[in-house]
Amino acid sequence: KGTVYLLGSGPGDPDLLTVQAVKLLQSASLVVSDRLVSKEILSLIKCELKVANKRPGCADEAQDEINRWVIDAASEGRDVVRLKIGDPFLFGRGGEEILEYRKHGIESKVLPGLSSSYTAPLAATIPLTHRGVANQVLISTGFGRNATYVDLPSYNSECTVVLLMAVGRIDEIATSLVAGKGFPGSTPVCIVEKATTPDERFIHGNLQTIAAIAKAMEAKPPATIIIGDV
């Protein structure tokens, strides 16, 4: 059987890929990529490329298709790169994919990638921790399994909240944090869209205003949301 490499592509800038990642992208016989991996990184691929069709409402079906692509190719003896946005194990289903491959006798190697949970704030010059302001960081997804809501903890003035895959429900999240979790409506919020790519945008507001601002500016994934006084 071939080898499967779960490779983190980072936030989007090819210069932020590891040297090992670049070598694998150029030597693999098949790359199966997440839909939101940047076009700049995809342009480095020299072999056959298949892109996942993961969209809201069809994620499970798309995941099944990804697994079939990878398992079929590896069973044929091909070396496969499973290219994942950010880091493979941070809300990336990386662990689930490894378990699925093992059912078919296929072992995987995991290569870390820079997560947008900390690279996106850096791109916006936002420190996640700052002495006297924030000494904790909470990283959460905006969508639980089957599109359920994630129960975020109550307000802590010294904790920076970083949300991944949450821009599509920023209205509900902001409302719930203020109404149910004790967050001041004036708490600063920044949405970093397409971090480190030529299309990067920073959208600023607070918990009272960010939903309307995001709607007006048509904020879209991939995006990272930073909430807190930093």
Compute, in degrees rounded to 10, the torsion defined by CA atoms 52, 53, 57, 60.
-40
Catalytic residue, chosen from 34, 84, 87, 194, is 34
Neighbouring residues of 51: CB distance < 8 A, sequence distance ≥ 6: 32, 33, 34, 35, 37, 42
Show the beta-strand stretches assigned E in the chain: 4-8, 30-33, 48-51, 80-84, 108-111, 136-141, 159-164, 188-193, 201-206, 223-227
Catalytic residue, chosen from 13, 84, 165, 194, is 165
Note if 165 is an active site residue. yes
What is residue 56's three-state secondary structure? coil
Catalytic residue, chosen from 1, 50, 54, 181, is 54
Omega prior to 222 cis, within 30 of 0: yes
Q: How far apart are CA 151 and CA 141, in angstroms?
A: 10
Per DSSP, 104 falls in state T
Neighbouring residues of 190: CB distance < 8 A, sequence distance ≥ 6: 121, 124, 126, 202, 203, 204, 225, 226
Note if 54 is an active site residue. yes
Catalytic residues: 34, 54, 165
